[in-house]
């Protein structure tokens, strides 16, 4: 069963695994919920869902365990009768890859269900795991989204960051051949009147993936430094992404780059990092407070680490 849309209503299942969205970026979750609510979508929660599990960790050590945990999560959505949907590229990579692998390997599926039976669960594979961007772009469509835009930016330059898992591996992704130079996220961004600026090595990793951030933070920061230099050279006002782990690396990572590489970067980086539904929500006329764009506390060590006030100033000045 696909995500269904009827007269602007769509039934979706949202899951933010890895705990990065609900724990470190609850404002991202808030923006997803509010934007989909405005778009007429019903979002259900997945009781008892666990970590996806992380593709760069579990899968690297023990694929059978990775498959069983992923299948268990998908089975929770299946019980609710909807597709699991996530706002995280890593979670999407795990759920989508596991679903694809199990649907193409009957013996593997049988073995996974033998293990799931021990906890009273069964994976059927009837519901395709989806990304938030997939639901927006492929299920709702640009024409539908365009009709919901109330305000447009006049001169906002955006560096769009896709992240790795949303487009690769290409044989397991739904992007109609857009894998090497995709444009679907840019197209959503430009519905808001913003301009997606081309920049060098646009599809390079943010630096955090594959547990690099955990293992050698300076190496991860060097990847991020290169991306940030290219974005700044292109004149980007803000960075738009669709993954909370990329968001973390581009947000907190800017602070780390400014510390690790202060002798070679010139001016410290201070490019606001915005999740796609936060940008879309602003253009739809949703209160920035609801979208988690207003920082109303003085807590230290809490996101956003790079001030987003310059973006909010643009919202006040540019939206027409």
Instruction: Indicate if the pLDDT at residue 9 is higher than 50.
Output: no
| For residue 41, pLDDT beyond 70 | yes
Looking at the structure, tell me whether residues 155 and 301 fall in a common domain. yes
Q: Tell me the pLDDT tens digit for each residue of 269-318.
A: 999 999 999 999 999 999 999 999 998 778 888 889 999 999 999 999 98
| Torsion angle (degrees, nearest 10) of CA 289, 307, 205, 72 | -40
In degrees to the nearest 10, what's the CA dihedral of 176, 182, 185, 191? -90
Per-residue model confidence (pLDDT) at position 42 = 86
Q: Is the pLDDT of residue 19 over 60?
A: no
Together in a domain, 103 and 171? no
Residue 45 tokens read as: 């929660």
- The C-alpha atoms of residue 151 and residue 128 are separated, in whole angstroms, by 33
Tell me, yes or no, whether 53 lies in a domain.
yes
Are residue 161 and residue 96 in the same domain, yes or no?
Answer: no
Q: CA 263, CA 275: separation in Å to the nearest integer?
A: 30
Q: Indicate if 125 and 156 belong to the same structural domain.
A: no
Kindly indicate the confidence band of residue 20, based on its pLDDT and cuts at 50, 70 and 90: low
Mean pLDDT of the chain: 90
Average pLDDT of the segment spanning 32-42: 93
Same domain, 52 and 100: yes
Q: For position 189, what pLDDT does the model report?
A: 98
- Do 80 and 46 touch, CB atoms closer than 8 A? yes
Domain assignment present for residue 142? The answer is no
Residue that wins the pLDDT comparison between 180 and 119: 119
Inform me whether the pLDDT recorded for 186 exceeds 90: yes
Total domains present in the chain: 2
CATH of the domain at 240: 3.40.50.11810
Q: State mean pLDDT over 227-238.
A: 98
Residue 301 sits in the same domain as residue 180: yes
- Residue 318 class from Cβ within 10 Å (0-12 exposed, 13-18 middle, 19+ buried)? middle
Distance, CA of 210 to chain centre? 16
Any domain includes 49: yes
Express each pLDDT in 102-134 by its tens digit: 999 999 999 999 999 999 999 999 999 999 999
* Tokens linked to 34: 């509010």
Q: Is the pLDDT of residue 223 over 90?
A: yes
Q: Do residues 156 and 292 both lie within one domain?
A: yes
User: Do 113 and 206 reside in the same domain of the chain?
Assistant: no
DSSP 208-267: -TTTHHHH-HHHHHHHHHHHHHHHHHTT-SEEEES-HHHHHHHHHHHHHHHHHTTTTSSS
Enclosing domain of residue 105: 4-132
């Amino acid at each position: 069963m696909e995500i269904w849309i009827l007269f602007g209503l769509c039934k979706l299942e949202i899951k933010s695994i890895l705990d990065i969205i609900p724990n470190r970026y609850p404002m991202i979750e808030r923006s997803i919920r509010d934007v989909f609510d405005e778009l007429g979508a019903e979002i259900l929660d997945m009781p008892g869902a666990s970590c996806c599990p992380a593709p760069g960790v579990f899968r690297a050590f023990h694929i059978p365990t990775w498959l069983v945990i992923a299948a268990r999560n998908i089975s929770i959505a299946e019980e609710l009768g909807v597709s699991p949907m996530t706002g995280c590229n890593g979670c999407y990579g795990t759920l989508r890859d596991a679903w694809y692998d199990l649907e193409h390997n009957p013996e593997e599926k049988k073995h996974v269900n033998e293990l799931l039976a021990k906890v009273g669960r069964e994976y059927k594979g009837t519901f395709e795991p989806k990304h938030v961007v997939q639901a927006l772009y492929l299920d709702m469509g640009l024409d539908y989204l365009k009709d919901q835009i109330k305000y447009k930016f006049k001169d906002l330059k955006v560096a769009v960051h896709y992240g790795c898992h949303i487009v690769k591996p290409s044989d397991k992704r739904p992007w109609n051949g857009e894998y090497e130079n995709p444009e679907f996220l840019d197209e959503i961004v430009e519905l808001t009147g913003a301009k997606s600026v081309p920049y060098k090595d646009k599809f390079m990793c943010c630096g955090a993936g594959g547990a690099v951030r955990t293992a050698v933070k300076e190496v991860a920061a060097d990847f991020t430094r290169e991306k940030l230099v290219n974005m700044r050279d292109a004149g980007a006002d803000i960075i738009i992404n669709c993954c909370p782990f990329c968001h973390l690396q581009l947000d907190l990572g800017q602070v780390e780059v400014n510390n690790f590489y202060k002798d070679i970067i010139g001016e410290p980086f201070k490019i606001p990092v915005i999740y796609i539904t936060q940008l879309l929500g602003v253009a739809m006329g949703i209160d920035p407070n609801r979208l988690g764009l207003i920082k109303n506390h003085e807590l230290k060590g809490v996101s956003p680490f790079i001030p987003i006030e310059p973006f909010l100033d643009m919202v006040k000045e540019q939206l027409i």
